[in-house]
Amino acid sequence: MEYKIAVVEGDGIGPEIIASAIAVMDAVGAKHNHKFEYDFVPAGGNSIDKYGVPLTDEALERCLRSDSVLLGAVGGPKWDTLPGHLRPERALLGIRKELGLFANIRPAKLNPVLKSACPLKDEIASRGFDMVIVRELTGGMYYGERGRRQGKGGEEAFDTECYSEAEIERIARVAFDIAAKRSKRVISVDKANVLESSRLWREVVHRAAKDYPEIAVSDMLVDNAAMQLIKNPAQFDVVVTSNMFGDILSDEASQITGSIGLLPSASLGEGTRGMYEPIHGSAPDIAGKDLANPIATILSVAMMFRLSFNLDKEADEIEAAVDAVLNAGYRTRDILDNATEPLGCKAMTQKIIEYLTRPLQRT
């Protein structure tokens, strides 16, 4: 099979982790006779430096012509003083919107061998957890009306949270479909005690749930959800929530797995094309030092293979190789919980590729 992938290396450690992901894809391609064509697309800070904007029309068109998009990371302090519409992060919002990628899927699982890297108490970490956070991606405050105006106290800034019934229903159905293949439990997170947008969210989620009688649906306020993720993460299976709440909660969930460098994500729409990226940022402080953890980006490739290309076997092999490397005690600096010498980004990638060539069984 042949696939065309738009590759956004991005900023900071982006090029390093993307190089790791491509090395893994090439290894899988050689093993299973697949061909991957890579179209390197400028976006984010590097696009600002070269073209003056975070995403050009031509770059967006190349993403639209791809089978899927693989993204490293964008942003950094170099561009922090730019106005909002010129910030590197606007590239992500533009790609998501124009490709119709309204659902962000973020799995968070505590690997048993990384229990000691988890910052939670041992009795909590010992129970483990395996959840999926389904985040609405193209609505809410990140896309609502915004601006500045003069008020009684001087200049004011405002960002508007707005959701339609259609936006809420379609993300709820994504969560229900995922839950149907897991433990058939969904927790919908909102702030319905304060926000009108959350009250509509709750109404529509429960209305849509009537079409999924086998799914148990419950509600949780976002502040309580943030506390419960620390107190008892094992209670969560599938979580569905808004753009902003999902952004914050999924980062919290990633940290209790041991490192934000472990978690992949998929952004999906109505079709098979998606955008796949690690959930961490560009980490400019370690850029170019071979210190980045490539696992989140490599696992994002596995999600791409499974969700966009229907290559389940290849996805399983990547995930099994990552598990095997971790089970063997290999660590990058961010998850170092033993007496081994930490591996750099390149060395960890090569270890994963080594295990990809072996017959593996998931532990």
Q: Residues with catalytic annotation?
A: 142, 191, 223, 247, 251
On whether the CB atoms of residues 97 and 63 are closer than 8 A, the answer is no
Torsion of CA 265, 270, 273, 274, to 10 degrees: -20
On whether the CB atoms of residues 182 and 238 are closer than 8 A, the answer is yes
Q: Where are the alpha helices (DSSP H) in the chain?
A: 14-32, 45-51, 57-64, 90-98, 122-125, 165-180, 196-209, 222-231, 243-255, 295-307, 312-327, 345-356
Q: Which two tokens stand for residue 322?
A: 């990552």
Distance CA 5, CA 20 (A): 15
On whether the CB atoms of residues 198 and 161 are closer than 8 A, the answer is no
Q: What is the CA radius of gyration of the chain?
A: 20
Whole-number Cα distances in Å, 93 to 103, 139, 288: 13, 10, 26
Distance CA 75, CA 54 (A): 10
Q: Residue 299: which of 103, 87, 66, 105 has the closest Cα? A: 105
The identity of residue 118, as a single letter, is C
